């Protein structure tokens, strides 16, 4: 039982659907055959949301730290002592404050190795801002906490995997942010993740153009010729099978993405809009390139349906299982590489 994967769960904005989808997911007892979940929040807040979702049979086991975890049960670490005013569907300072308290404690335990993976429920990227959290989103915060030079926002599903060169930045800054070095760095992260996290031996990666029609040979912009194509040539020198650049519209419309293991988009909406259209309920946001495993559902706080028992837990459940699979793949990869067979050159000599 001590080898059971411990998955930490941050609750996100207390006024959103985070705890609703967490509770609905953990109400399925089959989850505990695969992992031991630890929710970072507070039992009073969880009870409020549990009543709203009519899941009365789910009881959290309160623990002080992951070493006290109770297997085959949902665990809860109380991250604060005071009462919290919940205003479902509202954007409040309180929602951001306690979302950060949950995330901060869960990230600490993740970095220390007390838990094996982290699944983050949705935050509001505005009301969580503070002196302690000055980041565009989860991805950038976790990259900084990990001390990683780069990370990759990687949206994954059974049929489609999409990463982005530029993440949470204004559209006006996209073109100037795209460089040969940036594209190459993201391709390296994507290729490594596909091999080690998803066990694809020789990944095929499609790269999208920045401009309409991938510039039509320079008629609509020069970024493809000056930046993207040289980056692809350099990637192939690093034994990365990267192809393109492809016009983004037709690439998704005609199903070309099905011929590749992953797609690298130039900017956030170029990749995420088609991804969410194709795999909205089953999609998962995975932060590749970090020393630890973090996933999340591919949707936001959904204030408009908070507290109405309408939120689907499918994406959150997929995020939980994706985290479990990636942890297992990384563990097995380490085991396979610990004692590799000694290479011996066969002799052609005959007696």
Pairing status of strand 152-156 against strand 284-288? antiparallel
Within the chain, which residues score under 70 in pLDDT? 1-2, 339-351
| Confidence at residue 1, expressed as pLDDT on a 0 to 100 scale | 44
User: Which of 147, 53, 48, 59 has the alpha carbon at shortest distance from 98?
Assistant: 48
pLDDT tens figures, 123-141? 999 999 999 999 999 999 9
Distance CA 40, CA 84 (A): 15
Q: What angle do CA 286, 289, 295 make, to 5 degrees?
A: 20
Whether the full predicted model's pTM is greater than 0.85, yes or no, is: yes
pLDDT tens figures, 151-197? 999 999 999 999 999 998 999 999 999 999 999 999 999 999 999 99
| Confidence at residue 57, expressed as pLDDT on a 0 to 100 scale | 83
| Confidence at residue 31, expressed as pLDDT on a 0 to 100 scale | 96
**Secondary structure of the chain in the HEC alphabet?**
CCCCCEEEEECCCCCCCHHHHHHHHHCCHHHHHCCEEEEEECHHHHHHHHHHHCCCCCCCEEECCHHHCCCCCCEEEECCCCCCCCCCCCCCHHHHHHHHHHHHHHHHHHHCCCCCEEEECCCCCCCCCCCCCCCCCHHHHHHHHHCCCCCEEEEECCCCEEEECCCCCCHHHHHHHCCHHHHHHHHHHHHHHHHHCCCCCCCEEEEECCCHHHHHCCCCCCHHHHHHHHHHHHHHHCCCEEEEEECHHHHHHCCHHHHCCEEEECCHHHHHHHHHHHHCCCCEEEEECCCCEEEEECCCCCHHHCCCCCCCCHHHHHHHHHHHHHHHHHHHHHHHHHCCCCCCCCCCCCC
| Confidence at residue 42, expressed as pLDDT on a 0 to 100 scale | 97
| Confidence at residue 341, expressed as pLDDT on a 0 to 100 scale | 60
| Confidence at residue 343, expressed as pLDDT on a 0 to 100 scale | 56
Distance CA 321, CA 131 (A): 33
| Confidence at residue 351, expressed as pLDDT on a 0 to 100 scale | 46
HSE-up (13 A, CA, CB side) for residue 260: 26
């Amino acid at each position: 039982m001590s080898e059971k994967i411990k998955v930490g769960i941050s609750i996100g904005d207390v006024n959103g659907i985070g705890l609703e989808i967490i509770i609905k997911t953990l109400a399925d007892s089959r989850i505990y055959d695969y992992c031991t979940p630890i929710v970072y929040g507070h039992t009073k807040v969880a009870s409020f949301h549990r009543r709203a979702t009519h899941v009365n049979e789910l009881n959290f086991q309160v623990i002080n730290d992951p070493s006290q975890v109770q297997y085959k049960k949902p665990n809860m670490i109380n991250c604060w002592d005071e009462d919290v005013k919940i205003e479902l569907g509202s954007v409040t300072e309180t929602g951001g404050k306690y979302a950060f308290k949950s995330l901060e404690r869960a990230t600490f335990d993740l970095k220390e190795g007390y838990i094996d993976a982290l699944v983050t429920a949705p935050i509001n990227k505005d009301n969580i801002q503070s002196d302690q959290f000055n980041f565009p989103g989860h991805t950038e915060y976790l990259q900084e906490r990990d001390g990683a030079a780069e990370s990759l926002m990687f949206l994954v599903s059974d049929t489609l995997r999409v990463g982005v060169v530029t993440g949470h930045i204004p559209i006006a800054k996209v073109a100037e942010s795209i460089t040969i070095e940036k594209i190459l760095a993201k391709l390296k992260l994507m290729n490594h993740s596909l091999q080690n996290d998803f066990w694809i031996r020789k990944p095929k990666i499609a790269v999208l153009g920045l401009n309409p029609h991938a510039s039509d040979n320079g008629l609509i912009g020069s970024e493809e010729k000056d930046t993207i194509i040289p980056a692809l040539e350099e990637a192939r020198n690093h034994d990365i099978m990267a192809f393109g650049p492809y016009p983004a519209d037709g690439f998704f419309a005609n199903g070309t993405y099905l011929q590749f293991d992953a797609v690298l988009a130039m900017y956030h909406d170029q990749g995420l809009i088609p991804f969410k259209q194709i795999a909205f309920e089953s999609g998962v946001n995975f932060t590749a390139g970090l020393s630890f495993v973090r996933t999340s559902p591919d949707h936001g706080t959904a204030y408009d349906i908070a507290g109405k028992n309408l939120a689907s837990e499918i994406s959150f459940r997929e995020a939980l299982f994706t985290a479990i699979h990636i942890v297992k793949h990384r563990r097995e990869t380490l085991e396979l590489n610990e004692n590799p067979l000694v290479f011996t050159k066969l002799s052609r000599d005959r007696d």
